[in-house]
Amino acid sequence: MNQAVGVLIVDEPAGLGPVLRAFLEHEPSLHTLGEADLPLGGPGTGSVVALVFLPETASKSAFARIAALKRHPTLRVLVAFQSLPAETLRSLLEAGADAVVAQSATPREISATIVRLAHAGVADTAESGPVEAGDGLTPREAEILRFLSAGFSNKEVARRLSLSVRTVETHRLNLRRKTQTGRLKDLVCLARQLGLAPVVESETPRQGKGESGHHGHKTIIETMARH
């Protein structure tokens, strides 16, 4: 864990400003890379995280880009978003994104999220503090948080998302571990901080694709819980 985490910045928006990039380039725990450095495994770099900036209106090409990055088996993908409508969350799940973070988070918060994602599976969940706007959730956690913050029961969430109740209960426990709370008002506050789109009644249950999704994707907490 003493090696620098490699950071590949993807689709950085022009209006983002130099502050975040400067922070990432000068943070001792990080080492910025270019796509020419792929495939991974360069000297002095332990893990690599692609920080992908998702436009407010994401196109199919953006999700295809994430899926292409996930073809590198050791690469983790952190998606920085402005807002997360339901369809965007589902597309991120299908593309294989490992975690999401709000673009409004501070450079320090985004940096810390990158490090946590890179070291997931090594870090101890007991050491995690309360989630703030900059902390990363997996796309599935964010999707379920939308429903829980709207007051849906585990059974209702399972029906809406075509999951088992046990799976929803597991994700709810993961959220409780990350946020250190299960209170509705705290979940509502967190959902607003993260810019998660509110649930609307027209959202219907999805069929088919099981919890595993594509690319054998597993959540951060699931990886960490095995250690």
Per-residue model confidence as pLDDT tens digits over 126-179: 333 444 444 567 888 888 888 888 888 999 999 988 899 999 998 888 888 777
What is the rounded radius of gyration, in angstroms, for the C-alpha atoms of the chain? 17
What is the DSSP secondary-structure string of 154-221?
HHHHHHHHT--HHHHHHHHHHHHHHHS---HHHHHHHHHHTTBPPP-TT-----S--TT-STT---HH
Q: How many domains does the chain have?
A: 2
Q: Domain check: are 107 and 153 in the same one?
A: no
Which tokens hold the place of 105? 């988070």
Q: Is residue 215 part of a domain?
A: no
Mean pLDDT over the full length of the chain: 75
**Does the structure show a pLDDT above 80 at 211?**
no
Which has the closest alpha carbon to 219: 182, 172, 180?
A: 172
CATH of the domain at 90: 3.40.50.2300
Whole-angstrom Cα distance, residue 147 to residue 132? 19
Residues 174, 219: contact at Cβ < 8 Å? yes
Whole-angstrom Cα distance, residue 148 to residue 131? 16
Choice among 21-30, 146-155, 196-205, 210-219 with the minimum mean pLDDT: 210-219
Q: Domain check: are 60 and 167 in the same one?
A: no
Dihedral angle computed from the Cα positions of residues 216, 221, 160 and 59, in that order, rounded to the nearest 10 degrees: -60
Residues 56, 82: contact at Cβ < 8 Å? yes
Q: Which domain holds residue 20?
A: 4-120
55 or 125: which leads in pLDDT: 55
